[in-house]
Amino acid sequence: MKVGIVGAGSIAFGAAAYLENAGHRAMLWSPSGERTKRLATGEALIASGALEGTFHPAVAGSAQQLVEANDVLMIALPGYGHKAVMDAIAPFIREGQAVLISSHASFGALYLNRLLAERGIVVPIVAWGTTVTTGRQPSLVEAQVNTVRSKVDVATVPESLSAEGLSVCQTLFGDRFVQRDGILAIALSNLNPQNHMGIALCNMTRMEHGETWPQGLNVTPNVGRLLEELDRERIAIAEALGLKVRDIFEHFHLSFHVPKDSVSAMNQEMHREGRGGTGPATADSRYVTEDVPFGLLMTVKLGELTGRPAVLHDAGVRIFSAMYGRDFAAENTLLDAIGMSDLSLERLRQLARDGFEVSTEARAAS
Amino acid sequence: MKVGIVGAGSIAFGAAAYLENAGHRAMLWSPSGERTKRLATGEALIASGALEGTFHPAVAGSAQQLVEANDVLMIALPGYGHKAVMDAIAPFIREGQAVLISSHASFGALYLNRLLAERGIVVPIVAWGTTVTTGRQPSLVEAQVNTVRSKVDVATVPESLSAEGLSVCQTLFGDRFVQRDGILAIALSNLNPQNHMGIALCNMTRMEHGETWPQGLNVTPNVGRLLEELDRERIAIAEALGLKVRDIFEHFHLSFHVPKDSVSAMNQEMHREGRGGTGPATADSRYVTEDVPFGLLMTVKLGELTGRPAVLHDAGVRIFSAMYGRDFAAENTLLDAIGMSDLSLERLRQLARDGFEVSTEARAAS
């Protein structure tokens, strides 16, 4: 299949390498064009690590070109870029195309669904709970792929197109997808925001000094307890919604193959085994700039809607905003764009299932 | 004069050395007796640093002995010990004795005033905004005095006894006291809780690992901005109360003689000059265990009373509680004991000025 990838960072490069390696065709589009300029001149993309090879993904000069030239679209950039790229691609999407969001944040699937509904169009929009690949981008022609995950949670908006959405994922990336019970479950299955909140708060001066610091080692007992309490807030919201999600203990146990213990003890064990990773070496990290406005804030909003206030998540949004001199709550334009603050829980559940009502006038005109 | 000191930590030892050096007589009482046992056998107290000498303060075997044998009492231990020692000494206090609280926390002056009012007794209870001496306690016969402060803010409950309270302070510790506009002003003049909140949060893993870390250097730009925002909450409450208090910029400028700049820049300058100090090398630090329940929480309560919610202070109370697995708000028994949550602002102002109504029956019986 031909896949148009929106974004040109480490996840977009990893996806391009994966797809080309699997016999599909990948085309990259970077809104600024900066990150694709070397590939656009014909240089090869060299993948190393969990996936090796030399590839020649195409480069799109515009959103329109990307959408028109491909069968499937994949959004692969941080949550703070989602609204702008959805605005850019939505006018050109046609019936029959699928859109994959890797990974989904702050109900972006609903926002894109609404843009399309206003045009009278419905396509499967597949929300991924996390990325298929992890890695870094040593240069603008290299993809260092650290992991290809064996399990990725997915849900499709509208749910009536779930089978189609899942099929596209499997065709492109193989048998690694777990169908979840809607995008509310996807939203609450992502533990990064809460975990990154505790880790970043308690290691902030290490980040600002640009230290190289072992992350597992620095999930100390106090950090671990904070993460466990944050997790209780998330679980309480999931329970109120009747959704079953993994708790933080299962998360670390399953993702990192360490015996179940306190969160701090599991991280210390990961560190001893050399698998604890390193923490961000700059305050300008997605641990904060993406996860606070597009992760913590979303949990706060779901807490309000379900009557299970996420007070620690809210405390994080406020403290990071003070630290950075930014109003992180205001930076999330996706939640505003779907009218989150005016939605009832019932309406949100219905939107998550069915998507926005399609404009019949627009459908007739399209 | 004869001064009975409640406590036997670094501040109590420093005060004993100061008083003996100035020709007064000091007697120490430690509730557990542990910290006074070497002095009780006749070993000398050796002071070094800003104050040098060899002294022989007396040791009391009980609260009753301490109160009965002295003219003035001084409470010199962390806020979390205040209620218990006030309960212990209150039954024995007599008219004419003054009580100094070094330093005042969470309206402890009102709590002690109420215990005495119930006995029909009124004495000057002098709330200090900070300690006269700073220092450490290298052993149980040593007082390392780092500083003798040139200015200490004070206020007396009831305010009608202010002149008497101030006179006692000056007689004992010299001309360094600044009469402030009541204990509400004293409460809001202490910047330690807010500053320690930001410093401890953002350096928590350094504390837990027992690192030796330069505190000034680790008031990084994000930490400094958080402290400035916390300070705005405190200043807003003071303004609502019509009280003038120094802001954080004046605080660092006046206390550490660095040019006015951002809080981070002033701390970096203190570090360059070798005066930035070192941060706590354990999570079991008064930066948290005293300042969260007896400092941050008090500001939160004042914020509620004045309609200027201290949301960042509140966030700190919640996050530290989660980290430590303790309900720090519940650990403050002083605020509960004065019925803080049921007080109107007007009643609190009146109590701060006049103290609790004296039981006339008790007065007649006493």
Which tens digit of pLDDT belongs to each residue from A199-222? 999 999 999 999 999 999 999 999
Per-residue pLDDT reduced to its tens digit, B105-118: 999 999 999 999 99
A227 and A248 in contact (C-beta within 8 Å)?
Answer: yes
- d(CA A137, CA A149) in angstroms, rounded, equals 18
What confidence score (pLDDT) does residue A352 get? 96
pLDDT at A126 over 70: yes
Q: Are strands A58-59 and A25-29 parallel, antiparallel or unpaired?
A: parallel
A319/B319 Cβ within 8 A: yes
pLDDT at B162 over 80: yes
Residues of B with CB under 8 A from a CB of A: 201-206, 208-209, 218, 220-223, 225-226, 229-230, 283, 311-312, 314-316, 318-319, 322-325
Per-residue pLDDT reduced to its tens digit, A227-244: 999 999 999 999 999 998
What confidence score (pLDDT) does residue A362 get? 74
B303 and B310 in contact (C-beta within 8 Å)?
Answer: yes
A167 and A73 in contact (C-beta within 8 Å)?
Answer: no
> pLDDT band at A317, cuts 50/70/90?
very high
Q: Where are the beta strands (DSSP E) in A109-212?
A: 125-128, 133-136, 142-148, 152-157, 177-179
Q: How many CA atoms lie within 13 A of B16 on its CB side?
A: 34
Average pLDDT over residues B343-363: 91
Residue with tokens 């510790």: B173
What 3-state DSSP class applies to B31?
Answer: coil
- d(CA A221, CA B205) in angstroms, rounded, equals 9
> pLDDT band at A147, cuts 50/70/90?
confident
Q: Which two tokens mark A158?
A: 């509208």
> pLDDT band at B41, cuts 50/70/90?
very high
What confidence score (pLDDT) does residue A29 get? 98
What confidence score (pLDDT) does residue B366 get? 60
B202/A226 Cβ within 8 A: no
pLDDT at A166 over 80: yes
- d(CA B295, CA B108) in angstroms, rounded, equals 12
Nearest CA among A179, A149, A180, A148 for reference residue A244: A180
Q: Which two tokens mark A51?
A: 């996936």
What number of other Cβ atoms are within 10 A of residue A259's Cβ? Answer: 9
What number of other Cβ atoms are within 10 A of residue A141's Cβ? Answer: 15
- d(CA A37, CA B30) in angstroms, rounded, equals 73
- Per-chain mean pLDDT for chain B: 96
Q: Cβ-count burial of B192 within 10 angstroms (0-12 exposed, 13-18 middle, 19+ buried)?
A: middle
Please report residues of A whose CB lies closer than 8 A to that of B318.
311-312, 315
Please report residues of A whose CB lies closer than 8 A to that of B233.
none
* A44: Cα separation from own chain's centroid: 27
Please report residues of B whose CB lies closer than 8 A to that of A202.
201-202, 204-205, 323
Nearest CA among B236, B227, B356 for reference residue B304: B236
- d(CA B119, CA B159) in angstroms, rounded, equals 19
Report the residue from A205, A226, A229 with minimal CB separation from B202: A205
Average pLDDT over residues A65-93: 97
Please report residues of A whose CB lies closer than 8 A to that of B323.
202, 222-223, 225-226
Q: How many CB pairs under 8 A join A and B?
A: 89
What 3-state DSSP class applies to B272?
Answer: helix
Average pLDDT over residues B128-132: 93
B36 and B100 in contact (C-beta within 8 Å)?
Answer: no
Q: What DSSP character marks residue B214? A: B
Q: What DSSP character marks residue B294? A: I
Q: By CA distance, what is B210's nearest residue in A?
A: A220
pLDDT at B364 over 80: no
Please report residues of B whose CB lies closer than 8 A to that of A283.
221-222
Q: Which residue has the higher pLDDT, A44 or A365?
A: A44
pLDDT at B357 over 90: yes
Provide, rounded to the nearest whole percent, the portion of chain B with pLDDT above 90.
93
Provide, rounded to the nearest whole percent, the portion of chain B with pLDDT above 70.
99
Residues in chain A: 366
Q: By CA distance, what is A232's nearest residue in B?
A: B322
What confidence score (pLDDT) does residue B78 get? 94
Query: Amino acid letter at B329?
Result: A
Q: By CA distance, what is B321's nearest residue in A?
A: A226
Integer distance in angstroms from the first to the last C-alpha of chain A?
A: 25
- The H or E element containing residue B243 is none
B225/A209 Cβ within 8 A: no
B187 φ/ψ angles, rounded to the nearest 5 degrees: -60, -40
- d(CA A194, CA A309) in angstroms, rounded, equals 15
Report the residue from A208, A220, A322 with minimal CB separation from B220: A208
What confidence score (pLDDT) does residue A254 get? 87
Please report residues of A whose CB lies closer than 8 A to that of B211.
none
B144 and B49 in contact (C-beta within 8 Å)?
Answer: yes
Structural domains present in chain B: 2-187 (3.40.50.720), 191-331 (1.10.1040.10)
A202/B204 Cβ within 8 A: yes
pLDDT at A196 over 90: yes
Q: How many CA atoms lie within 13 A of A15 on its CB side?
A: 31
Please report residues of B whose CB lies closer than 8 A to that of A312.
318-319, 322
pLDDT at B22 over 80: yes
What confidence score (pLDDT) does residue A366 get? 59
Nearest CA among A235, A103, A217 for reference residue A169: A103
- d(CA B189, CA B179) in angstroms, rounded, equals 12
